[in-house]
Structure 1
Amino acid sequence: MSSKITVIGAGSVGSTIAYTLSNQNVASEIVLIDINKEKVEGEVMDIAQGTCFRDPISIVAGEYEDAKDSDIVIITSGIARKPGQTRIELTQTNVNILKSITPEIVKVAPHALYIIVSNPVDIMTYVFTKISGLPENQIIGSGTILDSARLRCGLSEHLNVAQNNIHAYVFGEHGDTSFIPWTGAYVSGVSLDEYYDIAKSMGKEVKEVDKDAMLEYVQKSGGQIIKRKGATFYAVSASVCKLCSILTSSSDSITTVSSMMHGEYGIDDVCLSTLTLVGPNGIQGKVPMRMNKKEIEQLHKSADALKEVIAQINLD
């Protein structure tokens, strides 16, 4: 374990990522950067004081230059949507924040793998890809890795089967046009549709999944959590830290992250999530999954919705 990870943004998500990383064996150095110096110093002090229960780790409240030689940089900076604010207005505000961060961090950490978490994540990943000047394999949007985790959680509870036996994914935008390609939904090596009969033969009463309701559960979970507690940060942090462990592993993994499309499924010049081979060298490429005509149409719908937003923002 010798990875250096920089987290930019010490809000709920960024600080929880730093805290979660401090409890894992993924990083030996963590740098937390935020424009609010007092906040970031307080977060680091709080996190560092709990690290006596693990192997030694360095955690500092830093400036951009402290990110030098980072293996991974995680960008979480941005503001939450305010009442009455349109999605486009929020997007432009967060794009402007990203435009101010990008040259500063890329200058000191040009070889790092970048994980974009700031929302709207697919747009932010696209913008960072366009303005950073970095090779695309170094840029990974957290995309629908959280949505897919929510799906596995929901299916696990419905089927009463461990989450690690559920292989199902959410594709497209991390947002309202995301969808579940049920063609690729499996319980271990058995398709979801086949599993009902198998469970029944074992005396287990398993109702068929209401697919529309499950998609709604995935899409609305974030809003429900925000309504109840004000923000979401535990599950997204766990997802990002899992991505960090993938990027520091000895071999590649397949997951749903957002990256630039180059003709896959007939989609080009937009970032969204499909199955992607990711590992210590960043993104290695897309893994084509068999989908039916309706599912491919849903992916195109998601891409078109994102392109419509991109067309309305200022990248200069």
Structure 2
Amino acid sequence: QYKFRDLTIEEMKNVNKIYPNFTFSINTYTFKDGSQKDLLNFSGTVPVKYGNSYNIPIHLWILDSHPFAPPICYLKPTMNMGIAVGKHVDAHGRIYLPYLQNWSHPKSTVIGLIKEMISKFEEELPLYSLSPLDAARQSELLSYIANITEGDTDMKSKSKICGGKYEGCFNKITVVGAGDLGIACVLAVAAKGAADKVVLLDLSEGAAKGGTMDLEIFALPNVEISKDFSASADSKVVILTVNSLGNAQTYLDVIQSNVDLFGGIIPAISHYSQNAVLLVASHPVEVMTYVSWKLSAFPQNRVIGVGASLDTERFQYILTNLLKAQLLAKDAWIVGEQGEDKVPAWTSCNLFANQTEAMTARNLREKVANRAMEVLKEKGQRSWSVGLSVADLTDSILRDKRKVHSVSTLAKGCCNINSEVFLSLPCILGTNGVIEMVKLEEDPLVQEKLQSCAGSIHDLQQQLKL
């Protein structure tokens, strides 16, 4: 059942060489949503120096998407040990480390994880000795932890909603990335009111800063901030806003940094929310949507990019309200690439009495569209405006609105495009993402521009290391 079996076996062999006291087995792990999987796991002790020398018992579960998703780590205290809750350990013994949050294959390994675990435990010892009375009380907690990690979760303890169903029926969404765009998406989605719960997955290192800290201070209802991928479990929509902040020199290097970043995120996200729609807002959106599709192995309808959705809404608004061309606006779209290479297009071809009348109407439409494009080019893509657009897309998906949006979708087979590239095209969105692509009016110039966009994007993708 392991997707990368050979890589996993090889890594476990390396772990066994360095830590021969670890015992390996296959057991059932129960996730927060009650779903279960048989997973490879191992337990043993690691040496920690904290004044004296201690052997700290740990238990690691290896996910079936390993090595692209980090292990789930717990302490395994004996009856006479108490859990010292701290910044790296919670009351149930779950271990949280920067190494886990920043997990990225191939630089991240289980051996490297254990080394950081030892280092952090030497700064703050995670366990302490219990008195006999405390040890008796500890046994109840240990029993609870064992139930969580060994597949015997008491589902009665979960909150029931939606007529006896569990929280899987919630309209839950996760926003990955706590930068300006990520926070803007959280605020916009919360204001829209479509989601019952919004999780902001903050993958940055160190303590909460800036907007994340403000969100914690002012505590919006139904908004949770977490650094743990498992908090995203059972999301119906996962919005990706992260971008690499590395020191890349060339445009290709910048994109490759983002690809590497997604390599540590998408497998974990797709593991915890296997039926989610992935909505990509990271740059460049067409390429990163393609990368998300490849890394997740999700069907193409459930991986979309924000694409030209904001530009299209603005374009239609300009036509309707500034240029008073309401009849044109309802069939007007921005397609292709996000940015300078966006193309105005139309989804209906009106029937005219003769060719002259049709030519006159199209010339008029072209003039109006050119004026609208000039106004549109003056508009920037600020975080809050993109956030509003993302919230609108999310609302259409969660509420199954069957509304048409211009989003990045797999364009292969459209306009004689034969490569696997994502371009903005008008699509009907619903619960499962793209329901249907709306056919564009046949226009040789639009087709030529879309084919050119597809060619340049495909050439760029060929240079990336996935």
Name the TM tier (shorter chain). 0.7 to 0.9
After TM superposition, the structure 1 = structure 2 runs for residues 272-291 of structure 1, keeping only pairs within 5 Å, are 272-291=423-442
Task: Decide whether aligned partners of structure 1 residues 135 and 233 sit closer, same or farther in structure 2, where only a CA change above 3 A counts.
Answer: same
Calculate the aligned-residue CA RMSD, in Å. Answer: 3.1
Structure-1 separation of matches of 2:300 and 2:230: 23
The percent of aligned pairs where both chains have the same amino acid is 27
| 8 Å contact from structure 2 (residues 349, 441) kept in 1 | no
Q: Tell me, what secondary structure is at the counterpart of 1:238?
A: helix
Query: In the alignment, does 2:210 pair up with 1:17?
Result: no
Contact 1:270 1:303 in 2 (8 A): yes
Q: 1:274 to 1:208 in 2, by over 3 A?
A: closer
Compute the displacement of 1:295 (Å).
Answer: 1.3
Instruction: Please tell me the residue identity of whatever aligns with 1:16.
Output: A
1:67 deviates by 0.5
Residue of 162, 167, 172 corresponding to 1:4:
172
Q: Map Cα deviations across residues 114-142 of structure 1 (whole Å, 9 max, x no partner).
A: 10110100000011111211122211111
Q: 2: CA distance between counterparts of 1:103 and 1:151?
A: 36
- The one of 232, 235, 238 equivalent to 1:67 is 232
Q: Which has the higher contact order (CA 8 A, sep 6+)?
A: 1
Q: Normalized against structure 2, the TM-score is what?
A: 0.55
Which of 244, 248, 260 does residue 398 from structure 2 map onto?
248
Say which of 70, 87, 110 aligns to 2:251.
87
Contact 2:183–2:212 at 8 Å: present in 1 too? no
The equivalent of 2:294 in structure 1 is 130
Q: Are 2:241 and 1:76 aligned? A: yes
Q: Structure 1 residue 237: deviation in Å?
A: 0.6
- Is residue 221 of structure 2 the alignment partner of residue 221 of structure 1? no
Distance 1:163 1:181, change over 3 A: closer
Distance 1:302 1:81, change over 3 A: farther
C-alpha displacement at 1:304, in angstroms? 1.1
Aligned length: 286
What SS does the aligned partner of 1:284 have?
Answer: strand
Cα displacement string for residues 183-233 of structure 1 (whole angstroms, at most 9, x for unaligned residues)? 7599xxxx9x86999xxxxxxxxx9846445435435533xx6xxxxxx11
One-letter amino acid of the counterpart of residue 403, structure 2: S
Alignment of 1:111-122 (within 5 A): 111-122=275-286
Of residues 208, 214, 233, the one that matches 1:38 is: 208
Can you list the C-alpha shifts for 1:115-174, whole angstroms capped at 9, x where unaligned?
011010000001111121112221111111012123224334531578996542111111
CA contact (8 A) 2:331 2:347 kept: no
Deviation by residue 1:71-101 (Cα, 9 ceiling, x = unmatched):
111000004798x943222211111111111
Structure 1, unaligned runs of 5 or more: 198-206, 226-231
Q: Partner residue of 2:446?
A: 295
Structure 1 residue aligned with 2:58: none
| 1:6/1:31 contact within 8 Å kept | yes
Q: Distance in 1 between matches of 2:289 and 2:237?
A: 15
Q: For the Cα contact (< 8 Å) 1:142–1:240, is it kept in 2?
A: yes
Q: Which amino acid aligns with 2:208?
A: E
Q: Which amino acid aligns with 1:18?
A: V
Show the 5 A alignment for 1:121-200: 121-160=285-324, 166-181=330-345
| Corresponding position of 1:262 | 412
CA distance in 2 between counterparts of 1:41 and 1:211 reads 41
Shift of 1:273: 1.0
Deviations 1:218-257 (A, max 9, x none): 35533xx6xxxxxx11211111000011001244121111
SS at match of 1:179: strand
Q: Distance in 1 between matches of 2:449 and 2:457?
A: 13
Instruction: Report the residue type matching 1:307 in the other structure.
Output: H
Kindly state the Cα deviation for residue 307 of structure 1 after the two structures are TM-superposed.
1.1
**Secondary structure at the counterpart of residue 143 of structure 1:** coil
Contact 1:178–1:302 (8 Å) recurs in 2: no
Based on CA coordinates, which of the two structures has the bigger radius of gyration?
2
Q: Distance in 1 between matches of 2:328 and 2:338?
A: 22
Distance in 2 (CA, whole Å) between partners of 1:299 and 1:110 is: 32
Following superposition, which runs of at least 4 residues in structure 1 exceed 6 angstroms of deviation?
161-164
Structure 1 residues 7 and 162: CA distance shift in structure 2, 3 A:
farther
Aligned partners of 2:362 and 2:345: how far apart in 1? Answer: 17
The answer on whether the counterparts of 1:155 and 1:166 sit within 8 Å (CA) in structure 2 is no
Pick aligned residue for 1:236 from 370, 386, 400: 386
* Rounded Cα–Cα distance in structure 1 between residues aligned with 2:253 and 2:287: 13
1:164–1:101: structure 2 CA closer, same or farther, 3 Å change rule?
A: farther
Distance 1:184 1:81 in 2: 45
From the superposition, tell whether residues 252 and 211 of structure 1 become closer, same or farther in structure 2 (CA, over 3 Å). closer
SS in 2 for 1:181: strand
**What's the offset of the Cα at 1:305?**
1.6
Change in Cα spacing, 1:80 to 1:142, as seen in structure 2 (3 Å) is farther
Rounded to whole Å, the distance in 2 between the matches of 1:150 and 1:244 is 18
- SS of residue matched to 1:277: strand
